[in-house]
Structure 1
């Protein structure tokens, strides 16, 4: 059962449990950890502008005065899971998040799916085995 909207951070654990129950884990633990960290970082960079330089292939020209849509102080990821996306070389990181936009409107339960493709069967020289795909 999901918490009522407006519950705040208190309800985040229930959202996480609901995601995990609805969509059982199907990735190796190491891949899942890496994808969750990358997905969280990408969403934070997209929403708040913080960390866009780490992802130049996703945010080309990110230093050119693009104002972030959300405040870093009022942004949080409520829950996240990483799962296969139809094929062994594709994954999706499903994120539920909350944020306050530039106009001051706070909304919880926002949903973002970020897709990744495996670059090689194993990581080469410490590089990522997964690369983010453009958002459509």
Structure 2
């Protein structure tokens, strides 16, 4: 789940990999221009935990980046929420779109 949370954050901030999650980011061709480049983006910390029930989880991420205007900010916080579904005995964690 941490890997998915990191990849989601990277896709959200930089645009790289958004097509992998169309339910989260919509049509990749109409994505908002990313505010950060991969060269000026890094994840500082990440943790995943249950979010109220065994079928809900949240990944908390702390990250840093330099925007296109040249302003560097660290200790940014982003949370990604996931729900678990079980099909044929296999659990799948699905990221939830931001509200």
Flag whether TM exceeds 0.5 (same fold): yes
TM-score by length of 1: 0.68
Larger strand percent: 2
Residue 131 of structure 1 corresponds to which residue in structure 2? 94
| Whole-angstrom CA distance in 1 between matches of 2:58 and 2:43 | 16
1:107 aligns with 2:70: no
Residue 97 of structure 1 corresponds to which residue in structure 2? 63
Larger helix percent: 1
1:58 aligns with 2:24: yes
| Whole-angstrom CA distance in 2 between matches of 1:74 and 1:36 | 21
Q: Which has the larger radius of gyration?
A: 1
| Whole-angstrom CA distance in 1 between matches of 2:18 and 2:42 | 17
Residue 81 of structure 1 corresponds to which residue in structure 2? 47
| Whole-angstrom CA distance in 1 between matches of 2:7 and 2:31 | 20
Alignment deviations for residues 93-131 of structure 1 (CA, whole Å, 9 cap, x no partner): 0000001111111100000010000011742xxxx6100
**How has the CA–CA distance of structure 1 residues 65 and 41 changed in structure 2, closer, same or farther, with 3 Å as cutoff?**
closer
Residue 8 of structure 1 corresponds to which residue in structure 2? none
Matched residue of 2:30: which SS? coil
Computed over aligned residues only, the root mean square deviation of the Cα atoms, in angstroms, reads 1.5
Residue 82 of structure 2 corresponds to which residue in structure 1? 116
Residue 33 of structure 2 corresponds to which residue in structure 1? 67
